[in-house]
């Protein structure tokens, strides 16, 4: 490319790298075209795409030849996907879809800047050569990591975990369990973390080692089975742990832990969280359409744009969360007890719900009210 075209290309790629809409479209394209990539958390896909686009900007700034320069992010992406168990064919489907979306977005951005079609064609062809080099480094990183994994016991343990926890896999036999350090007659906790980056996973796995067990990547997150429930600092990465269950029962326990992890992550929780402590929220979160129906029926008079309505809804949720104790609610919200009473009274006047009403069936009514109020607050 000549100097003018290079400057245009750099301007376009910078715009793509800083545009959340473009990033979302590239993520969606990769996930919709590859079911295995879609099994990974969307934020994991977004993290790598941002890094690759940022690397592309640096590549253009340096004026690197297509096969020279720093392709470490592309290499790391391939290595990570190998460690996460994504088959190479599925990885390439996602890469191709993302590549096409980046090209479309680049053309749109250039046209919006008033660049003529001849210049657009020139830099898009050059950009495509660069993206092709990125793809080759992704494949190289994948195969390099695959070879390394195949030489280690970690790969074997991960395969045992996947067979143990994922549907459609035949259960591991007694010999395989023994080689992985698991005993068929013992009971184990299913442990699912929010960690998706293999580099962070190594640190967390070291912390989990005191509880024993076997860990590896299952559906893109560090997961394991342990004879003891893990103990971690309160500020450690989020981990959901099930009660101890026989090994065959962990296949039905794992998806419950994975769903509970999403609920806990949505609340910003950290550290070890018992599955049973998240059971009610996990069950409710599985029915978002029913939650929206409940909101429409119970809370129609509330206006999301009204700050006071937000305050009374948040106060009612806090009241239910703190055992319906006025003073505990006031302390948690740093307000006076009379303010709590006033807001609850106003909620009763507006929507007809009295969270202090203990008449039958109080537990069911309180749960429905809590669910509706939480959903309303989260949707505003």
Are the CB atoms for 122 and 5 separated by under 8 Å? yes
Phi, psi of 242 (to 5 degrees): -85, 165
pLDDT at 239 (0 to 100):
97
Residue 66 has pLDDT above 80, yes or no: no
pLDDT at 318 (0 to 100):
95
Strands (E), 198-250: 214-218, 221-226, 239-241, 245-246
pLDDT at 178 (0 to 100):
86
Are the CB atoms for 136 and 69 separated by under 8 Å? no
Q: Which of 147-151, 159-163, 272-276 has the highest mean pLDDT?
A: 272-276
Residue 169 has pLDDT above 80, yes or no: no
Are the CB atoms for 81 and 56 separated by under 8 Å? no
Residues 362-378: tens digit of each pLDDT: 788 899 999 999 999 98
CATH fold, domain 287-379, is Arc Repressor Mutant, subunit A (1.10.10)
Residue 120 structure tokens: 């657009």
343: pLDDT confidence band, cut at 50, 70 and 90? very high
Residue 153 has pLDDT above 80, yes or no: no
Residues 220-277: tens digit of each pLDDT: 899 999 999 999 999 999 999 999 999 999 999 999 999 999 999 988 999 999 999 9
Dihedral sign from CA coordinates of 291, 331, 347, 358: positive
Mean pLDDT lowest among 62-66, 161-165, 316-320: 62-66
Reading phi first (left if > 0) and then psi (alpha if -120 to 50, else beta), residue 352 is in left
Output 23 or 150, whichever has higher pLDDT: 23
Q: Can you give the residue ranges of every domain in the chain?
A: 3-150, 155-284, 287-379
Cβ neighbours of residue 46 closer than 8 Å, sequence gap 6 or more: 23, 24, 27
Residue 359 has pLDDT above 60, yes or no: yes
pLDDT at 253 (0 to 100):
96
Are the CB atoms for 355 and 299 separated by under 8 Å? no
Helical H segments across 63-152, by residue range: 72-83, 88-112, 117-150
195: pLDDT confidence band, cut at 50, 70 and 90? very high
3: pLDDT confidence band, cut at 50, 70 and 90? confident
pTM over 0.75: no
**CA 128 to chain CA mean position, Å:** 30
**Domain 3-150 listed as CATH 2.60.40:** no
């Amino acid at each position: 490319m000549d100097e003018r075209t290079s400057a245009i290309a750099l301007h376009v790629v910078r715009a793509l790298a800083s545009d959340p809409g473009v990033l979302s479209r590239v993520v969606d394209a990769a996930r919709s075209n590859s079911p295995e990539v879609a099994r990974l958390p969307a934020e994991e896909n977004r993290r790598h795409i941002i890094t690759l686009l940022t690397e592309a900007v640096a590549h253009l700034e340096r004026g690197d030849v297509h096969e020279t320069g720093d392709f470490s992010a592309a290499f790391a992406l391939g290595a990570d996907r190998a460690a996460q168990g994504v088959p190479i064919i599925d990885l390439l489907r996602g890469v191709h879809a993302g590549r096409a979306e980046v090209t479309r977005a680049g053309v749109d951005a250039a046209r919006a800047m008033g660049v003529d079609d001849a210049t657009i064609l020139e830099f898009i062809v050059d950009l495509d050569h660069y993206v092709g080099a990125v793809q080759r480094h992704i494949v190289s990183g994948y195969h390099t990591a695959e070879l390394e994994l195949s030489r280690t016991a970690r790969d074997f343990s991960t395969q045992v975990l996947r067979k143990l926890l994922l549907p459609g896999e035949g259960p591991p036999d007694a010999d395989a369990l023994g080689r992985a350090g698991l005993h068929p007659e013992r009971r184990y906790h299913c442990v699912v973390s929010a960690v998706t980056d293999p580099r962070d996973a190594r640190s967390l796995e070291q912390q989990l080692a005191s509880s024993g067990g076997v860990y590896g990547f299952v559906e893109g997150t560090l997961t394991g089975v342990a004879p003891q429930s893990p103990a971690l600092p309160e500020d450690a990465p989020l981990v959901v742990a099930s009660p101890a269950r026989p090994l065959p029962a962990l296949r039905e326990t794992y998806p419950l832990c994975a769903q509970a992890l999403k609920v806990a992550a949505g609340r910003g929780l950290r550290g070890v969280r018992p599955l049973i402590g998240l059971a009610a929220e996990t069950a409710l979160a599985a029915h978002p359409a029913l939650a929206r129906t409940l909101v429409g029926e119970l809370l129609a008079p509330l206006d999301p744009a009204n700050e006071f309505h937000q305050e009374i809804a948040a106060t009612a949720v806090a009241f239910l969360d703190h055992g319906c104790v006025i003073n505990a609610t006031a302390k948690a919200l740093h307000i006076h007890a009379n303010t709590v009473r006033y807001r609850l009274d106003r909620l009763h006047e507006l929507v007809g719900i009295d969270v202090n009403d203990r008449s039958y069936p109080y537990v069911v009514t309180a749960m429905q009210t809590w669910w509706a109020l939480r959903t309303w607050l989260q949707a505003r």
